[in-house]
Amino acid sequence: MAERSTAAVDVADNSGDEPLTAKADKATADGSAETQETAEQSAPDTDRERQSGGPGIATPDLHSGHKLARRYRLEECVTRLDGFSSWRAVDEKLRRAVGVHLLPADHPRARSVLAAARSSALLGDPRFVQVLDAVEENDLVYVVHEWLPDATELTALLAVGPMEAHDAYQLVSQVSQAMAAAHREGLAHLRLTPGAVLRTSSGQYRIRGLAVNAALRGIRAERPQRTDTEAIGALLYAALTQRWPYEADAYGLSGLPKGVGLIAPDQVRAGVHRGLSELAMRALVNDGATASRQEPPCTTPDELAAAVAEMPRIRPPEPTFTAPPEYQRTTYQQGTYGRTQQGLGPPTAPVAVPPPPLQSRTGKALKWTVAALLIAALGLGSWQVADRLLDQRKESETTPTQTTTGDDDKAIKPVKALKIAEASEFMPGGYGIKPGLAPNTIDGEAKTSWITDQYWNFPNFGNLPKYKEGSGIIVDLGSVQRVSVINIDMYRSGQKAEVLAADKDASNPTSLSDFSQRLTKLETVGGTLKSTLDKPVRTRYVLVHITEVPTDGSSSRFRGGITEIQLKG
């Protein structure tokens, strides 16, 4: 009897290593290139043993076109190593690409791979490559995971050059938060390399191979949290310098000079952000030493995520605009319209000018009569206007002036747009969706949005327990303001949403209970959410709270988001 455990959540993909016979630029399971690891190629005399699965282990003899469970059709082998193989495959039932890890059921690591895959599937965090199936069937163990062709490996991104400070900040922030969430559930990665981190087209970083890649290779660690934290530090170091923070070259990056030791990133390359340089040194094994001061080391992903949160926010670079072409006046604006250009044709015969009209005695009399009538009409009109103005002035002098006051006995000021200092993602359970896209909701651009992941079967964020209180965007007005008008452009219509506000004395609210003032009722809204409050609300923090998202392409897939938030008061 086959054992089966299935979980389906929308996330990114991929397998693990490049096959020993493949070239470095061969496409991996997420559609990007993966460089062979130096450590795996350091012993040429073991290559044959690795490809055959080692002593006493036979690699399953499978080929393109083979079907697993009458559903998953193997297309291309992308890895064959240590007795297991990884394939690009097609899920014929759902008509989508997937990745598959295969190994014999009698492989010494088969049980640990199944356990790791099922534990990873139960996490259900969209920041990780999601396991879709973990099966033992017909003397085979296979793990099916999702596949995103638009995702790019960090290895390929670093091959182009070092990252800007904002991109490196987003990398370490998102990866450290994701790994902190995984460790809280008892899951470690232990193989967090540049090939295990993917960036999607929306700028979200995804991590593949959580627990599974280490189990496939039999990797263990006495201090798993420290191991993953050091790996994140190495990724940040590589992003800042385009160098690997060890002496050996790896992942297409040059290592540090031998005998020099660990050098701070801002000493390796000019222009590196000082705060990120110190953060990378705190995460690596160096007792927290930095170039300028002594800071305590970060030994867990939680500590590293907290250190990132304490840093001043690094904003993206200002976009560069090219100067428009010099303004060219037309021939009409230059006063040459209708003129004959030299050399463009024969000269035009002069046109006879008619004599001025009304030059006779009768014409002069007619002109004086029309002028007199116009003067009389203007005088009559001026008299009527002056008479009306005098009547209005008398009415205003006899009518008493009324002043409407608010709660603070101050005259109500005209409504004006409120400046929003910052926008952040609402994460009541500590699990974000796409926090890096939150600033898109206040940038004034209709082309940018905060967009959720795609969820299956349930509009309430896939019915995942971690999103039971929904999600949304929190805007910070910088100080307590009077809010009276709400104007929100939603990513698409059909979302169930409401607008809440925190108490005016609140500081950094994060839970739903912190937003005690209801500005709009919870209901399904269209493309915009607009409301004018009967009574202005004094607050600093406003939450656009979403509990359900609309369908996305089919009746079983759901996605939502927010495009722009405007408040007036």
Q: Do 427 and 510 touch, CB atoms closer than 8 A?
A: yes
Residue 29 has pLDDT above 60, yes or no: no
| Cβ atoms within 10 Å of 196's Cβ, excluding its own | 24
Q: Where are the alpha helices (DSSP H) in 219-300?
A: 224-241, 265-268, 274-283
The structure tokens listed for 255 are 């290592």
Higher pLDDT, 70 or 394: 70
Q: Do 175 and 147 touch, CB atoms closer than 8 A?
A: no
Give the distance, in angstroms, between the CA of residue 528 and the centroid of all CA atoms in the same chain. 21
The structure tokens listed for 156 are 């390929």
- By CB atoms closer than 10 A (0-12, 13-18, 19+), residue 313 is exposed
The structure tokens listed for 542 are 């406003």
pLDDT reported for residue 337:
47
Residue 422 has pLDDT above 70, yes or no: yes
Please give the Cα distance from 80 to 99 (Å, whole number): 14
Please give the Cα distance from 171 to 204 (Å, whole number): 9
Please give the Cα distance from 127 to 428 (Å, whole number): 17
Query: In Å, how far are 17, 50, 80, 310 from 54, measured between CA atoms?
Result: 17, 5, 12, 48
Please give the Cα distance from 121 to 103 (Å, whole number): 19
The structure tokens listed for 476 are 């910070």
Q: Do 314 and 273 touch, CB atoms closer than 8 A?
A: yes
Q: Tens digits of per-residue pLDDT, 268-286? A: 999 999 999 999 999 997 5
Please give the Cα distance from 243 to 329 (Å, whole number): 53
| Cβ atoms within 10 Å of 266's Cβ, excluding its own | 22
Q: Tens digits of per-residue pLDDT, 128-155? A: 989 999 999 889 999 999 988 889 999 9
**Is residue 346 helix, strand or coil?**
coil
Residue 435 has pLDDT above 70, yes or no: yes
The structure tokens listed for 35 are 């460089």
Q: Which of 278, 30, 308, 13 is nearest to 170 (CA)?
A: 308
Question: By mean pLDDT, which of 122-126, 311-315, 389-393, 547-551 is the weakest?
Answer: 389-393
Residue by residue, DSSP assigns 320-339 as: P-PPPPPP---TTTTT-TTP
Query: In Å, how far are 66, 177, 419, 426 from 431, measured between CA atoms?
Result: 39, 8, 28, 9
Q: Do 90 and 96 touch, CB atoms closer than 8 A?
A: yes
Residue by residue, DSSP assigns 391-445 as: HHHHHHHHSPP---B-TTS-BPPPP-BPPP-EEEE--TTS--S-GGGGGGGGSS-
How sure is the predictor about 215, in pLDDT bands with cuts at 50, 70 and 90?
A: very high
Residue 64 has pLDDT above 60, yes or no: yes
How sure is the predictor about 369, in pLDDT bands with cuts at 50, 70 and 90?
A: confident
Please give the Cα distance from 380 to 210 (Å, whole number): 88
How sure is the predictor about 38, in pLDDT bands with cuts at 50, 70 and 90?
A: very low
Helices then strands, each counted (H, E), the chain: 10, 20
Using a pLDDT cut of 90, give the percent of the chain over it. 55
Give the distance, in angstroms, between the CA of residue 564 and the centroid of all CA atoms in the same chain. 15
Q: Tens digits of per-residue pLDDT, 154-202? A: 999 999 999 999 999 999 999 999 999 999 999 999 999 999 999 998 8
Q: Do 288 and 281 touch, CB atoms closer than 8 A?
A: yes
pLDDT reported for residue 83:
87
Q: What is the mean pLDDT of residues 560-568?
A: 95
